[in-house]
C-alpha cells in the first residue's frame, strides 16, 4: 500500500521502518495501519496497549476519526507516576482518558493507579490483567533516552520475569517530561518514580506500531537502528520483534 508523504522505507533486522515528510503524514499512515490490524483480527475481544504521550497525538487524532468498533477492545496504558493524587493533571492516566479512552466506547480500559501505599498490590493487579488479556496490538513510542515505556537504560531488562515493575526515572526522561511533553511545570514538581510495563510485556504484543516524531528524538532513533541491540538503548530490542513497524518523520530520521 502506498502512503501519502512516504519518503523512504527499509528494514533494519526484523523492524520495518517508514520515514515520512511530516509528523502529520506519519500519524495518518500509522493510524491507517492500526485500523487494518484491528480489522484483521477475528476475535471476540482485542487487547491493545497505548503510550499516552504527546508524540502520539497525530496518531490518536487520525485513529479516532475512523469507523472502528472499539466496543470489543480492551485498552491498557504503559506506565504511571507513583503517588500523585487521583485527579492530578500530571497523571498519565488523565492524559490517557482525555486523548484515548475518552474518545471511543472501549469495552474496558485499565488504568494504572499506583500510590505510595499500594505499589506492590497495584503491580500484582495490573500483572493479572495482562495475563488474563494477552496483548494483540501495541501503539507506542520511543523516549529521548531510547526507553520504551519507562524502561530506562539503567533498569531495562530484555529478559525481565516481571510484566510490571517499579522504576526510577533518569535525567533524560525528567528533562523530556518538563521541556518537551510539558507534563511538569518545573523540576520541583517532578515525580521521580513510576511503575511500568516491562520490555517482555510490551514485546509480547503480536503487533507493534511505533511512532517517533521530532528532532529531539533523532539521536534515540539513530541508536535504535544502528547501535548493537542492548539495554543501553532499550528500543533497539524492537529490531527483534516479528511484526513491528517504526514510523518516523524526517526530523526524527535526520541522524540516519
The per-residue pLDDT for range 219-232, each reduced to its tens digit, is 999 999 999 999 99
**Which pLDDT value is given to residue 25?**
98
CB 81 within 8 A of CB 52: no
> Cβ-count burial of 87 within 10 angstroms (0-12 exposed, 13-18 middle, 19+ buried)?
exposed
pTM: 0.94
Domain boundaries, the chain: 30-236
pLDDT at 179 over 90: no
**Which pLDDT value is given to residue 203?**
98
Instruction: Supply the mean pLDDT for the chain.
Output: 92
Q: How confident is the model at residue 181 (pLDDT cuts 50, 70, 90)?
A: low
Nearest Cα neighbor of 76 from 238, 224, 197, 194 is: 197
**CA distance linking residue 46 with residue 71, whole number of Å:** 10
The per-residue pLDDT for range 109-136, each reduced to its tens digit, is 999 988 878 999 999 999 999 999 999 9
Q: Which residue has the higher pLDDT, 256 or 85?
A: 256
**Which pLDDT value is given to residue 115?**
81
Lowest model confidence (mean pLDDT) among 152-156, 205-209, 210-214: 152-156
Segment 6-21 mean pLDDT: 98
CATH of 30-236, one of 3.40.980.10, 3.40.50.1360, 3.50.50.60, 3.30.160.110: 3.40.50.1360
Task: Name the residue with cell 484491528.
Answer: 38
Amino acid at each position: 500500500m502506498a502512503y501519502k508523504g512516504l519518503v523512504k522505507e527499509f528494514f533494519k533486522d526484523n523492524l520495518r521502518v517508514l520515514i515520512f515528510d511530516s509528523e502529520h503524514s506519519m500519524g495518518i499512515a500509522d493510524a491507517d495501519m492500526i485500523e487494518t490490524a484491528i480489522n484483521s483480527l477475528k476475535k471476540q475481544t482485542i487487547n491493545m496497549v497505548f503510550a499516552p504521550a504527546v508524540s502520539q497525538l497525530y496518531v490518536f487524532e487520525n485513529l479516532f476519526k475512523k469507523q472502528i468498533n472499539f466496543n470489543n477492545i480492551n485498552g491498557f496504558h504503559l506506565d504511571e507516576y507513583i503517588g500523585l493524587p487521583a485527579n492530578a493533571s500530571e497523571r498519565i492516566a488523565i492524559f490517557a482518558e482525555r486523548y484515548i479512552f475518552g474518545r471511543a466506547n472501549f469495552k474496558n480500559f485499565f488504568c494504572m493507579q499506583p500510590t505510595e501505599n499500594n505499589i506492590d498490590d497495584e503491580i500484582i493487579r495490573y500483572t493479572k490483567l495482562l495475563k488474563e488479556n494477552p496483548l494483540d496490538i501495541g501503539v507506542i513510542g520511543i523516549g529521548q533516552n531510547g526507553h520504551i515505556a519507562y524502561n530506562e537504560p539503567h533498569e531495562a531488562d530484555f529478559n525481565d520475569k516481571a510484566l510490571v515493575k517499579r522504576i526510577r526515572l533518569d535525567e533524560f526522561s525528567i528533562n523530556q517530561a518538563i521541556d518537551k511533553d510539558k507534563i511538569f511545570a518545573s523540576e520541583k514538581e517532578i515525580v521521580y518514580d513510576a511503575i511500568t510495563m516491562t520490555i517482555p510485556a510490551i514485546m509480547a504484543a503480536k503487533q507493534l506500531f511505533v511512532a517517533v516524531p521530532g528532532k529531539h528524538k533523532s539521536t534515540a532513533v539513530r541508536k535504535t537502528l544502528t547501535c548493537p541491540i542492548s539495554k543501553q538503548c532499550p528500543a533497539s530490542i524492537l529490531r527483534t520483534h516479528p511484526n513491528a513497524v517504526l514510523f518516523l518523520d524526517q526530523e526524527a530520521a535526520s541522524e540516519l
